[in-house]
Amino acid sequence: MTEPAKADRPAQSRRNRTFEATHQALIEASVALISEKGVDSLSVAGLARAVGMNRATVYYHFASREALLEAVSTWSSEQLTRGFAGSESQQERIDFVARFVLENPDLIKLWIEQFIAPGDIRTRYPKWDEFIAASRQHGPHASDGGDAGDIDVEVYCTFLLAGAIIGPRVFQSSVRPDLSEDEVIERFRAEQQRMLRRDGLLRK
């Protein structure tokens, strides 16, 4: 009786990989649809039409529009988390976040709605505790022998996170709409680096 179970494992593994690949492809197709037509245009039926897939198959992955939007929001959060805590240099990560914000306005609006909703921030930004710990260790006054006790680290990190995610869009839309995307990114990078250097958080 044990041999059939062993024989079934590779087939089950292949099915799981196929499911995950399809699931990810549907999320990425949803991202493309939102970027092209906006959040309001997204539906499970519309996604099925866009990818040429049976509607029942798409519903197997996402039981409702709300579930689909949640998956897209989680994907956006993963991109932003990578930008804040990836393996690239700090300058590259600053640029990544600013460019992602500027190139995906509808995704960012969706993500912000999720971000400000009640609930644990760690579900939207999994690196929050690491962000807090690093800021407490290396933040303002820590380089002078202090322990960053003169600031409210949680509020400070909220300022940094909100500014990085909302700031570039506000600046491009309302402050300097005449600037190119690259110019906006360059100016935000320079100012963020100045602030991080001032507060002892600038890293190579």
Its pTM surpasses 0.75: no
User: pLDDT tier at 8 (50, 70, 90 boundaries)?
Assistant: low
The CA distance from 201 to 193, in Å, is 9
Answer whether 168's CB lies under 8 Å from 98's CB. Answer: yes
* pLDDT value of position 140: 55
Q: Residue 92: pLDDT above 60?
A: yes
**46: pLDDT confidence band, cut at 50, 70 and 90?**
very high
pLDDT of 126 reads 75
**Cα dihedral value 21, 87, 95, 117, nearest 10:** 60
Report the alpha-carbon distance of residue 34 to residue 73 in Å, rounded: 11
Is the per-residue pLDDT at 141 higher than 60?
no
Instruction: Give the span between the Cα atoms of 51 and 128, in whole angstroms.
Output: 35
Nearest to 39 by CA among 118, 103, 105: 105
pLDDT for 61 beyond 90: yes
Which pLDDT band holds residue 144 (cuts at 50, 70, 90)? very low
